[in-house]
Amino acid sequence: MSELRQTLAAAAARFQAMDAAGVLAHVSDRYRNGPVTKASVRDDLLAMFALYDTVRAQVRIDEVRMVDGAAWVYSTGEVTGRLRGIGAWTSVLAWEREPEVARREGTTWKVVGPGP
């Protein structure tokens, strides 16, 4: 749980720094959520970073279940952004107890896809 919290904190810091490559370092090349792949996550991040001049991510890990070496991470959070040129803060995305699956790839935990 401690390693996953550290990984989440590192990914959130890279997101708030608007560092797409840094965020994507925490996403597996095998990531798949229906039609969404790591490449489309990259495109979404770049679009978000173009639209907002500041972004924030507040994420809490609610529960972790280990299943066959994979961590099923249930989290609650919200992503907000300040619209470029306007200065208004908006909620971009919010979720409650949503599952994602993370696996070790080498020495690092990476998100591989959604949970059940």
Residue 109: CATH number of its domain:
3.10.450.50
Q: What are 31's two structure tokens?
A: 């990531």
Helices (H), 17-111: 20-24, 38-51
pLDDT, tens digit, 9 for 90 and up, residues 63-98 = 999 999 999 999 999 999 999 999 999 999 999 999
Residue 12 has pLDDT above 70, yes or no: yes
Q: What are 16's two structure tokens?
A: 């708030």
Q: What are 76's two structure tokens?
A: 């609650």
pLDDT at 2: 87
pLDDT at 30: 94
Domain membership of residue 94 as a residue range:
2-114
Number of domains in the chain: 1
